[in-house]
Structure 1
Amino acid sequence: MLADEVYLGLTYDGDPTGIAALTGHPEHVLTIGSCSKTYAMTGWRVGWLGGPQAVIDEVTKIHESTTACAGSVAQHAAIAALTGPQAPVEEMYDAFAERRDYVAERIDAIDGLSAPTPDGAFYAFLDVDLPGSSLDIAKRLLRERDVVLAPGDGFGEAGEGKLRLSFANSLDQLERGLDGIEAALREA
């Protein structure tokens, strides 16, 4: 089993627990981690793979012959992120949690809009009661309301008709965007 846990540090309700700790066979789990999300190092391409040593040894052989290593600056930044003061990370986490709560409350208050409250990361997957495909709805909201959302069909068939909202933005921008969605729904 492959467990992508790059968002594990952005789990809001309860303690974050990796997949390997939840299975009766942790030796069958390869865990992918990264500095991308928790430490806001997206694009730095610093991550890790954890699992049984024999598997890691084989993966390392392939990695060494197919991929250049992360730059030294990124490696040193990752070391500083992982071993340094965590107060900035906690502040970022608290801001995301506050935004998540705000987004969830606003979604619940808007007729024609729904979404499960996110347990982690910084996205809400919206079900918007507007006609058209996810792409059509996203384009309409962009053109008419200056609201940028990712079409849900980009995440597979089950995402058709849905939109992904990122709450990795300021509360002011989130309020503005949700106001735009609400206005579009009122006028539909």
Structure 2
Amino acid sequence: MKEIVIASKNAGKVAEIAAALQHLPVRIVSLAELGDVPEAVENGADFSENALIKARFYAASTGKACLADDSGLEVDALGGEPGVYSARYAGETATDAQNNAKLLTKLKGVADEKRTARFRCVLAFVDTDKQTITAQGVCEGEILAAARGAGGFGYDPLFYIPALGQTLAEISIAEKNTISHRGAALRNIAEKLAGYLQ
């Protein structure tokens, strides 16, 4: 049974990852269970770099295998912004509402057909011997001019999926997990880990 530390204290995220890996011979541990672990400095240029920085840092800090993720929104008309700054787009302590407001301001006057965007999630697994596995998932959509729906979080109320005719904030969590960037990345990493752990 392999012990894997999830580089997050977010109980919801840890539970989601644990559920995706439940068929593997692993024991999932949250960073929150390990007491006072210093925080990794996420200064990578993209999601892959940040996920690897976190996975390597926490594997070294805890002496255990670690799985880390980094994810966010990439808007084509803004050259990939907010990207790695998705959670703090409107400032270090910005709320979801402030980040959404900044995004809408920056997209003012951009034609509907040019508002294409994607959510990207990169997962990085680093073992105690420094062996590394990465996987990613992408969810394509468009940014609306006004929020729709009461579910989800972050940019979900603005992120419209044309094939569904709904935003991520208008669909159920179960439906979101089948199409989301994190869901796709988790399925990819679970497949790779299954082979690796054999």
Does the alignment reach a TM-score above 0.5? Answer: no
Normalising TM by the smaller chain, what interval? Answer: under 0.3
Using the size of structure 2 for normalisation, the TM-score is 0.24
Give 1 or 2: higher helix fraction: 1
Structure with more of its chain in strand, by fraction: 2
Greater Cα radius of gyration, structure 1 or 2: 1
